[in-house]
Amino acid sequence: MMPDLVAPTKIVRDYLNYSPVWNDFLGQGGFVEGDIVVAGPFKAGSMWIQRIVQQILSDARKKDDRLFETTPWLDSSWGNHARMLSVLRQRRTAGYQRIIKSHLPADALPIAAETRYIFVGRNGKDVGVSFHDYLSKFSASTIEDINRIYATWSAHPTPLVIPHYAQQFFGLWLDTNGYGCCDIFDIMSSWWKLKDTPSNYSGRSGLWWLPGISVDRVA
């Protein structure tokens, strides 16, 4: 049987991700029964699943348009961590069932027995093309913020530059373990190792592996 909390065994810090924020999350009380983590590579459909889960929890009575605020991507490198932690703390106090998004591999965030984990997978080629489109639409100020934060801690603060052509980006993305943004092989393999965890958590928790998404499986 797995312990009630499996602590992260590695740190992921790159242009887009900042795993140490989970230590701050644990420091303010961590997970409670019913918390949900939606995880997966960038552009695999995690935001879609966030919305589906949100609608299921509210019995489709209410659509909260503040998805980014109420179900935060906590380990974003350039996000306002203090604000996101505050929101999660407030929602815990108010008794809301919390949803948190992550783009980290499974061994870079805490795995808790009282928490449900939904992993969203997608064909890697589709992820690569969509990811390039996503990054290409970042505003100049966002890229500036990302590079500024990256330069404060990296020993080799090379600015993030997104190639104009998707084919060029795709090659760099695969050849450099994620181009400092999203190592899809690490993410996929780490969560795959946990795909059978429900039996190890005595029915209290587990991981749903969703490479092909259906609402009834999420529910």
Task: Give the relative orientation of helices 184-192 and 124-136 as an angle to the nearest 10 degrees.
Answer: 130
pTM of the model: 0.88
Residue 104, both tokens: 């980290």
Domains annotated for the chain, with CATH where assigned, are 8-211 (3.40.50.300)
Each residue of 107-120: pLDDT tens digit? 999 999 999 999 99
Each residue of 79-110: pLDDT tens digit? 999 999 999 999 999 999 999 999 999 999 99
Residue 39, both tokens: 């995880």
Answer yes or no: are the C-beta atoms of 105 and 194 closer than 8 Å: no
Each residue of 120-149: pLDDT tens digit? 999 999 999 999 999 999 999 999 999 999
